[in-house]
Amino acid sequence: MSALAPYLEYARKAFAREATYRIELLAEVGSLVLRVYLLRSLWTALYARNVAPMGLPLHSMITYATVAMLMSLVLEVDGTRVIREKLREGGIALDLMKPIVVPFAYFSDGFGQTLVHALAIVPSLVFSLLLVHIDVPSAATLAVFLLSFALGYGVNFFVNFLLNGVAFWTLETFGLQLIVRWISDLLSGQILPLAFFPGWFGRAVFALPFAAIYSTPLLIYIGIIPPRQWANALVVQSAWLAVTAAASYLLWRAAARRVVVQGG
C-alpha cells in the first residue's frame, strides 16, 4: 500500500484542484443537458424522415446518444496533456528525477480529475431523465457495460498518452491532437453509431481502437451486442488495451532517453 501512496496523493490533489472550479463544472452540466435535448430533437426529426440505423428504434437511439454524452464527461478528461506542458516549462526533468513511475503519476492525476467529472454525471442524468426517456438495462448488462467502460477508459488514456508523448520529438502536439480528436469522435461511435458505416468501411471502423472507447460499451448497453457476444467484445477491448499500453511503454522508454526541454 505504501508503494501506491504517492499516486493516491496525486489523485487526491488533482481532485481537490479540479473541484475548485465549481462554476465551470455546473456550466458543463448545463451544457450537457442542453446537448441531450438538442440531440433528442435531432434524432426524432431524422427518424421521422426514415434516416436511421437498421434495427435501432428511436428510443434506443436516444438512449445511445444520451449515455454517450454522459460518458464524455469522463472520457474527455485528458490527464496526459500535462506532458507537453511540462516539456515547454521544463518540469518534465524534475518528474524524471522523482522516485515514481511518471506515466502512472499522470494516470493518477487524470483519474483524480475524472472523479470530479464523474460526480457531474449524477445531476446530468437526473436532468436528462426529465427531458428524454432512457432505457435501463438489466443488472447483468449494466455490470458488463461498466466493465467495458473501464476498459475503454484505459484505451482512451493510452491513446492520449501516445499522442502527447509525441511532444518529446515535436515539442507541440495540439494540431495532431485536434485532427485525431475529430477522427476519434466520428470513428469511436460517440457521435454516430458505427452501424451507420456500410460495408467494408464499417467493418474496418469496428476494428480500430477508437471503437473500444465508446462504441463497444454503448452497444452492450442498448443490447446490440447480445450476451453471447459479450466475451468476444471484452476480449477485443482488452487486446487494444494491451497493445496501446505496450506502445506507450515503448514510447516512454525512448522518450525518457532524449528529454528536450524548451524553457525552464
Task: Kindly report the pTM of this predicted structure.
Answer: 0.84
In a domain, 261, yes or no: no
Tell me which amino acid residue 211 is. A
In a domain, 244, yes or no: yes
Q: How far apart (Å, rounded) are the C-alpha atoms in residues 73 and 71?
A: 5
Residue-level pLDDT at 142: 92
Q: Which of 24-28, 38-42, 152-156 has the lowest mean pLDDT?
A: 24-28
Per DSSP, 198 falls in state: -
Domain count, the chain: 1
Q: What percent of the chain has pLDDT over 70?
A: 89
Q: State how far Cα 66 lies from the chain centre.
A: 15
Residue-level pLDDT at 231: 95
Among 21-35, 61-75, 170-184, the range with the most confident prediction by mean pLDDT is 61-75
Tell me which amino acid residue 44 is. T
Give 125 or 139, the one with higher predicted confidence: 139
In a domain, 36, yes or no: yes
Tell me the residue range of the domain where 142 lies.
Answer: 5-256
In a domain, 62, yes or no: yes
Q: Tell me the average pLDDT across 103-107.
A: 81
Q: Tell me the average pLDDT across 219-240.
A: 93
> 264 pLDDT band (50/70/90 cuts)?
very low
- Asked whether residue 46 carries a pLDDT value surpassing 70, the answer given is yes
Q: How far apart (Å, rounded) are the C-alpha atoms in residues 148 and 237?
A: 8
In a domain, 51, yes or no: yes
> 207 pLDDT band (50/70/90 cuts)?
confident
In a domain, 87, yes or no: yes
Contacting residues for 111 by C-beta, under 8 A, at least 6 apart: 11, 14, 79
In a domain, 132, yes or no: yes
Residue 90 falls in which region: left (phi positive, over 0), alpha (psi -120 to 50) or beta: left
Three cell numbers, residue 91 = 518540469
In a domain, 184, yes or no: yes
Q: What percent of the chain has pLDDT over 90?
A: 20
| Residue 235 φ then ψ, to 5° | -65, -45
Q: What is the DSSP string of 144-189?
A: HHHHHHHHHHHHHHHHHHHHHHTHHHHS--HHHHHHHHHHHHHHTT
Residue-level pLDDT at 52: 65
How many CA within 13 A on the CB side of residue 37? 10
Residue-level pLDDT at 258: 64
